[in-house]
């Protein structure tokens, strides 16, 4: 009885992983060569099947979810900033309110500026505008840098008072500077979607 | 089907920054290949639509973490294939149909002239998924086994059984090759 290639053998031949026996057999056996050709044709026909298109547009659902995701991210980010601010304020205001008035005023001013910019950004309609690729990358970079500063502020809140103050002012000033850049990028370099 | 894979980096960067127009552009670029993949793997068109939606919800949520390893279509396709396979597993559990069993369409005679598309539809969900992922999308048996939580030999045997069945239903002679 003549042995022929099984489907496993044919698939292995197609993948270039067949046994020596299968490779030799398919050279000599016309029936198995025809089967192998049939396999190649089926795969080619599968690849050539027409693309099936979605019957309904699901973009609006995805878009709404994207908006929720965006708001969630901003809230998380804002919560970090608020937590950092609360930690810093709690530590600074209690022990030596009158001892270093100038330092305190400088710190308060930086925090106030940051809050104002945060508020300005919060009122800005993110979804009604488009960004160029470069601008979008710049926005992402600025947001990441602000998030890093917020993390630093939260950590510095627990440090010793003397070592803490100068660092805190510097961090808050850096935050204000980055927030200004972010507002500038968001408000002046983005443009409304002209659809 | 061949997918136009080239997506400008700048578009990805904008999508990563949450730009809605860029996210929509990605959705428009990939909605058909994602739906087609899901529809070929799943029996039900509505399930495929759900997979399309779930895939892009995941894309929106995770694209910030996409670092450009591999091409974007590969990343999105993997999400879509995983979602479709999850649905197949869920449906198998509900129907208590073991993986790899022939579909419950006994008595349906498939003539010699049936076209490939109809014959393909007759395969089990699992077989169809393996055939599509391997033969059309170019996944290896190792990758399919990993996606399905099965072994490499499972993927290979599913493919062999599926092709034997396709061959029979497309009118090939019954013989030692089946």
pLDDT at A170: 84
Contacts of B94 (CB under 8 A, 6+ apart): none
Contacting residues of A for B35, CB less than 8 Å apart: 52-54
Q: Say yes or no to pLDDT of A129 above 60.
A: no
pLDDT at B109: 38
Q: What percent of chain A has pLDDT over 70?
A: 66
Residue B2: C-alpha distances to residues A33, B50, B53 (Å): 28, 22, 21
CA–chain centroid gap for A26, Å, is 52
**Tens digit of pLDDT for each residue in B137-152?**
999 999 999 999 999 9
pTM metric for this prediction: 0.62
Q: Structure tokens of A144? A: 């990441």
Q: Say yes or no to pLDDT of A103 above 80.
A: no
Of residues A156 and B126, more confidently modeled: B126
Tell me the C-alpha distance between B126 and A4, whole Å: 27
Contacting residues of B for A66, CB less than 8 Å apart: 18, 20, 23, 60
How would you write the pLDDT of chain B (178 residues) with one tens digit per residue?
A: 555 567 888 889 899 888 889 999 999 999 999 999 999 999 889 999 999 999 999 999 889 888 776 789 999 999 999 999 999 988 766 554 444 434 434 333 334 335 888 999 999 999 999 999 999 999 999 999 999 999 999 999 999 999 999 999 887 544 445 4
**Tens digit of pLDDT for each residue in B70-90?**
789 999 999 999 999 999 988
The answer to whether the Cβ–Cβ distance between A42 and B172 falls below 8 Å is no
pLDDT at B141: 95
Selected residues 104-133 of chain A with any CB under 8 Å from a CB in chain B = 126-127, 130-133
CB B152, CB B121: distance < 8 Å: no
pLDDT at A33: 94
Q: Structure tokens of A183? A: 């507002």
Q: Which of A26-30, A101-105, B124-128 has the lowest mean pLDDT?
A: A101-105
Of residues A21 and A75, more confidently modeled: A21
pLDDT at B99: 42
Q: Which residue of A has its CA nearest to B10?
A: A133
Q: Say yes or no to pLDDT of A106 above 90.
A: no
What B114-122 contacts at long range (C-beta under 8 Å, 24+ apart), as own/partner pairs, is B114/B169, B114/B170, B114/B171, B116/A42, B116/A45, B116/A46, B116/A49, B116/B166, B116/B170, B117/A49, B119/B165, B119/B166, B119/B169, B119/B170, B120/A46, B120/A49, B120/B40, B120/B166, B121/B43, B122/B165, B122/B169
Q: Structure tokens of B111? A: 């003539």
CB B177, CB A5: distance < 8 Å: yes
Mean pLDDT of A117-140: 66
**Tens digit of pLDDT for each residue in A54-94?**
999 999 998 887 787 777 666 665 666 666 666 666 665 55
Q: What percent of chain A has pLDDT over 90?
A: 26
Q: Say yes or no to pLDDT of A194 above 70.
A: no
Of residues A190 and B163, more confidently modeled: B163
pLDDT at A174: 86
| CA angle in degrees (0–180, nearest 5) for B91-B88-B128 | 130
Contacts of A146 (CB under 8 A, 6+ apart): A77, A81, A175, A178, A179, A182
Tell me the C-alpha distance between B90 and A115, whole Å: 49
pLDDT at B137: 94
Q: Which residue of A has its CA nearest to B32?
A: A53
Q: Structure tokens of B52? A: 């399309």
CB B147, CB B130: distance < 8 Å: no
The answer to whether the Cβ–Cβ distance between B166 and A42 falls below 8 Å is yes
The answer to whether the Cβ–Cβ distance between A58 and B52 falls below 8 Å is yes
Rounded to a whole number of angstroms, the distance from the CA of A142 to the nearest CA of chain B is 11
Residue B10: C-alpha distances to residues B14, B22, B48, B71, B166 (Å): 6, 9, 30, 14, 44
Rounded to a whole number of angstroms, the distance from the CA of A51 to the nearest CA of chain B is 6
Contacting residues of B for A8, CB less than 8 Å apart: 156-157, 160
- Mean pLDDT (chain A) is 76
Rounded to a whole number of angstroms, the distance from the CA of A2 to the nearest CA of chain B is 9
């Amino acid at each position: 009885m003549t042995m022929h290639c099984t489907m496993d053998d044919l698939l292995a031949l197609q993948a270039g992983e067949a046994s020596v026996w299968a490779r030799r057999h398919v050279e000599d056996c016309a029936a198995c060569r025809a089967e192998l050709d049939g396999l190649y044709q089926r795969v080619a026909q599968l690849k050539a099947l027409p693309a099936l298109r979605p019957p309904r547009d699901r973009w609006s659902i995805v878009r709404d979810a994207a908006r929720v995701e965006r708001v969630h991210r901003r809230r998380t980010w804002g919560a970090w900033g608020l937590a950092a601010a609360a930690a810093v304020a709690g530590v600074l205001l209690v022990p030596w309110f009158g001892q270093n008035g100038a330092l305190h005023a400088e710190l308060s001013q930086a925090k106030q500026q940051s809050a104002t910019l945060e508020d300005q950004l919060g009122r800005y309609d993110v979804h009604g505008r488009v960004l160029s690729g470069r601008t979008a990358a710049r926005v992402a970079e600025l947001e990441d840098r602000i998030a890093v500063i917020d993390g630093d502020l939260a950590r510095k809140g627990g440090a010793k008072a003397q070592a803490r103050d100068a660092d805190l002012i510097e961090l808050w000033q850096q935050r204000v500077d980055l927030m200004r850049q972010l507002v500038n990028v968001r408000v002046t370099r983005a443009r409304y979607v002209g659809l | 089907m061949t997918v136009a894979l080239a997506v400008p980096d700048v578009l990805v960067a904008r999508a990563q920054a949450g730009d809605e127009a860029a996210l929509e552009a990605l959705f428009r670029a990939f909605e058909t290949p994602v739906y087609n993949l899901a529809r070929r793997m799943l029996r039900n068109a509505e399930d495929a639509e759900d997979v399309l939606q779930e895939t892009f919800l995941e894309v929106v949520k995770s694209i910030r973490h996409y670092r450009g390893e591999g091409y974007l279509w590969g990343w999105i396709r993997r999400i879509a294939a995983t979602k479709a396979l999850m649905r197949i597993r869920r449906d198998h559990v509900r129907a208590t149909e073991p993986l790899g069993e022939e579909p419950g369409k006994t008595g349906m005679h498939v003539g010699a002239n049936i076209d490939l598309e109809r014959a393909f539809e007759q395969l089990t969900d699992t077989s169809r998924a393996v055939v599509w992922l391997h033969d059309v999308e170019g996944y290896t048996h190792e990758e399919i086994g990993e996606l399905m939580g099965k072994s490499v030999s499972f993927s290979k045997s599913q493919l062999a059984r599926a092709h034997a069945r396709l061959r029979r239903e497309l009118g090939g002679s019954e013989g030692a090759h089946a």
